[in-house]
Amino acid sequence: MTGGPATPVACDLVIRGASQVCVIPPDGGGLLAADPSQLGIVGGGALAMRGGRVVWAGPESLADRALGPEPDATVIDASGCIVVPGLVDPHTHLPFGGWRAHEYSMRLGGASYLEILAAGGGILSTVAATAAATDQELLAAGRGILDEMLAGGTTTVEAKSGYGLELEAELRLLRLAGELGRTHAARVVPTFLGAHAVPPLYRGNADGYVEVVLEEMLPAVKRFALAEFCDIFCEPGAFTVEQSRRVLTRARALGFGVKMHADEMSQSGGAELAAELGAVSADHLLFASEAGAQAMARSGTIGVLLPITVLSLLGDEVDAGHCRRQARMLRAQGVKLALGTDCNPGTAPSASIQLAIALAGRIFGLPPVEAMLGATRHAAQAVGLGGQVGTLVPGARADAAIFGVPSYEDIAYRLGGNLVRWVIKDGRVVHCPGGPPAAGERLVS
């Protein structure tokens, strides 16, 4: 934040008169996460951008003097609204073929997980539906979901492969994720998750599949530069800690950042391994141990909580009291927490990070301040973009979401709707009621 400099700051997009601008400065100061000052709130604030970067954030009362908008600058009157950094969804399974509504009906009809699997459901049904879909169909479905995410304020989306489970199919999904990123307004960060499940061909021989991931898939993903991160589903029934260590150690040696699905359904040492390998994130963590949490806090590994998924598991696999105690433990150990949708056709058929924020309080007891940090600063760190997105400090990417509410607390409090008015990505208005603005247009809420 700057005061009123002598020379007006040139800008091509200005947001004026917001009730709050949440600047969310990068880490520092050793403040408690629950301290609202962590959000760097400017009450009665304005924000200016130029050339796709934030150039100024400060009080509305200084904006006239401080800013020199270019003649065709877009001006947004954000009275009664708040401005936050474009939200970051650090855990999704885009792209995939088809939803699984029928399976959900079966579950509510009393079918067990094994009965659903026997009826051809579960992750392998998505692998089959993804294989059966054309590239154009997968791109269209992916764009539809990204449209929904963008309209809900999400400007950066991590996207995992993992519904291929063989070399060409995994490379195809990563190429499609890359194509989505190049052609959609949302920023897409691709992650290789070849070790998402053991495919039928390798049933009882997970080590054999791990060899394929190590010797064929990882080198090819590297050669074609298709992913920034490598992830693995470390869980009994999927991949062991030892198999995860092999895959992620190789990935790291090849220059990938590493992430993990860790300790989701049982305590298997996933959090400890994530910390040992310096993973950017360990995700789910419902059963992570206290020692694992301590290690994560020391290594700076972000803990990604996925409350929408938990909502699907509540009652059967986990109970609400456990989730709350677990989140309290992670916070007490100093783990920095992020939030994601986990958007996937099985446990989390949702594109709404606003829903994840609202559920984070109800399910994990996360205060609104921490939920906001979880969808901005910490989520950005979980996809390796800390300081560049998830913040509105001058110099950051000009990604912002303007919500039609008076305070950031309302985003955590309100449940189930879309509170967003405008979304800006790289300094361009990408979501606007009534269509994109003309040059120099003044947008009013």
Interface with Zn ion by CB under 5 A: which residues?
342
Of 243 and 309, the one with the shorter C-beta distance to Zn ion is 309
Of 228 and 342, the one with the shorter C-beta distance to Zn ion is 342
For the CB of residue 253, give the shortest distance to Zn ion in the complex, in Å: 24
Of 231 and 272, the one with the shorter C-beta distance to Zn ion is 231
Of 38 and 341, the one with the shorter C-beta distance to Zn ion is 341
Number of residues written out for the chain: 445
Contact, 104 vs 344, CB < 8 A? no
For the CB of residue 157, give the shortest distance to Zn ion in the complex, in Å: 13
The tokens for 232 are 């693995």
For the CB of residue 109, give the shortest distance to Zn ion in the complex, in Å: 25
The tokens for 287 are 């059963």
β-strand pairing of 400-403 with 420-425? antiparallel
For the CB of residue 283, give the shortest distance to Zn ion in the complex, in Å: 6
Name the residue number minimizing CB distance to Zn ion.
342
Of 23 and 241, the one with the shorter C-beta distance to Zn ion is 241
For the CB of residue 93, give the shortest distance to Zn ion in the complex, in Å: 6
Residue 251: closest CA among 269, 265, 231, 266? 231
Of 94 and 186, the one with the shorter C-beta distance to Zn ion is 94
Q: Name, in order, each residue with C-beta under 8 angstroms of 417's C-beta and a sequence gap of 6 or more.
A: 354
Of 60 and 89, the one with the shorter C-beta distance to Zn ion is 89
Of 103 and 342, the one with the shorter C-beta distance to Zn ion is 342
CA dist 226 and 189 (Å) reads 10
For the CB of residue 18, give the shortest distance to Zn ion in the complex, in Å: 34
For the CB of residue 270, give the shortest distance to Zn ion in the complex, in Å: 13
CA dist 319 and 322 (Å) reads 5
The 3-class SS string of the chain reads CCCCCCCCEEEEEEEEEEEEEECCCCCCCCCCCCCHHHHCEEEEEEEEEECCEEEEEEEHHHHHHHEEEEEEEEEEECCCCEEEECEEECCCCCCCCCCCHHHHHHHHCCCCHHHHHHCCCCHHHHHHHHHHCCHHHHHHHHHHHHHHHHHCCEEEEEEECCCCCCHHHHHHHHHHHHHHHHHCCCEEEEEEEEECCCCHHHCCCHHHHHHHHHHHHHHHHHHCCCCCEEEEEECCCCECHHHHHHHHHHHHHCCCEEEEEECCCCCCCHHHHHHHCCCCEEEECCCCCHHHHHHHHHHCCEEEECHHHHHHHECCCECHHHHHHHHHHHHHCCCCEEECCCCECCCECCCCHHHHHHHHHHHHCCCHHHHHHHHCHHHHHHCCCECCECCCCCCCECCEEEECCCCHHHHHHCCCCCCEEEEEECCEEEECCCCCCCCCCEEEC
For the CB of residue 129, give the shortest distance to Zn ion in the complex, in Å: 17
For the CB of residue 91, give the shortest distance to Zn ion in the complex, in Å: 6
Of 74 and 156, the one with the shorter C-beta distance to Zn ion is 156
For the CB of residue 69, give the shortest distance to Zn ion in the complex, in Å: 43
Of 304 and 401, the one with the shorter C-beta distance to Zn ion is 304
Of 60 and 342, the one with the shorter C-beta distance to Zn ion is 342
For the CB of residue 376, give the shortest distance to Zn ion in the complex, in Å: 20
| Unique residue bearing structure tokens 């994530």 | 274
